[in-house]
Amino acid sequence: MLTETFVTAALADEAMGETANPTKRPTLPGYVMPSIEIIYYPEKPNLFDGFTVSGQAWGSELQGAFVYVTVAGVTRRAKIIDGLWTVTFEDDALPRHYSGHKEIVAQFRDNVGKVATTSVSVYVEDFIDSFVIVDNVHQIVGEGPQAELHISGELNLGTHLADRELTVCLVTDDDEAAVVAAGELTAGWQHGEWRAQIALDGVESGEYKVRALLTDGANAALTRAMCSTQVILL
């Protein structure tokens, strides 16, 4: 893994080499200064899925040059071919709990030592879309005081970390204070699929919703919730 510090040091080493031997890479007649543009990038990358950043470079001395792209302190590189480049960040390349507004920075040095740099702003998501899913299919098991509502759902990639807690409950509406009954999770919910049983003792007939609330012990701001369609108890 390359870092911004590594890239800066590498470019500095190249510059020192050129200073020591100024005739090594002379500026040629008709020389065109380098420039770079980021053309394709994810506006909301997340910390778990891989992604690519692509762009174009210009200048008269690009042969063999590499572009370095940095996001959230992580750098990847790719060779410039016919003025075009694509850098790939693999799954889990970005550090965990590093979400928020960041910059994608791209830079390269041409064959005479001139550096071109550009950047774009993105928002790095700690979760991906549809963070917590509650299935629309549910089942009431048992009768009377022993009756239970059995409900299930999924946690998408990136949500089922060890420091995150899932709470499933029956609510009358979307108000946080409207909890009617709390559920008990089946062991192993962290692996992407969860099941819960909600005791219905004392719960009156009517229309309710199931709320699945995911909280993060390291960062309370990462709390996510998703409600299913209404559940009708007769």
Residue 48: its pLDDT value, please? 79
Residue where one domain finishes, among candidates 106, 124, 142: 124
What pLDDT digit, counting tens, does each position of 52-88 carry?
999 999 999 999 999 999 999 999 999 999 999 999 9
Cα–Cα dist 47/161, whole Å = 12
**Do residues 141 and 50 both lie within one domain?**
no
- Which residue bears the tokens 């004392």? 202
pTM: 0.58
Residues 147 and 111 in one domain: no
Residue range of the domain that includes 170: 132-233
- How large is the average pLDDT for residues 222-229? 70
Same domain, residue pair 8 and 87: yes
In tens, the pLDDT along 19-47 reads 333 334 455 678 999 999 999 999 989 88
Nearest by Cα to 110 from 54, 39, 21, 32? 32
Question: pLDDT band at 181, cuts 50/70/90?
Answer: confident
Convert the pLDDT of each residue in 122-145 to its tens digit: 998 876 655 788 888 888 888 888
Q: Is the same domain home to 110 and 25?
A: yes
Separation of first and last alpha carbons in the chain: 58
DSSP summary character for residue 26: P
Q: Which of 139, 141, 135, 100 is nearest to 227 (CA)?
A: 135
Secondary structure (3-state) at 34: coil
Domain count for the chain: 2
- Do 15 and 32 belong to one domain? yes
Q: What is residue 7's three-state secondary structure?
A: helix
Using DSSP's 3-state secondary structure scheme, residue 183 falls into: strand
Q: Taking the CB of residue 183, how many other CB atoms lie within 10 A of it?
A: 23
Widest CA span in the chain: 91
Out of 27-36, 94-103, 156-165, 220-229, least confident range? 220-229
Residue 36 CA to residue 106 CA, distance in Å, equals 8
Label residue 176 exposed, middle or buried (CB < 10 Å: 0-12, 13-18, 19+). Answer: exposed
DSSP 56: E
More reliable by pLDDT, 56 or 233: 56
Distance between CA atoms of residues 177 and 158, nearest Å: 28
* Backbone Cα Rg of the chain: 27
**CA separation for the pair 123, 222 (Å, rounded):** 14
Dist CA 83 CA 58 (whole Å): 6
- Residue 177 sits in a domain whose CATH number is 2.60.40.10
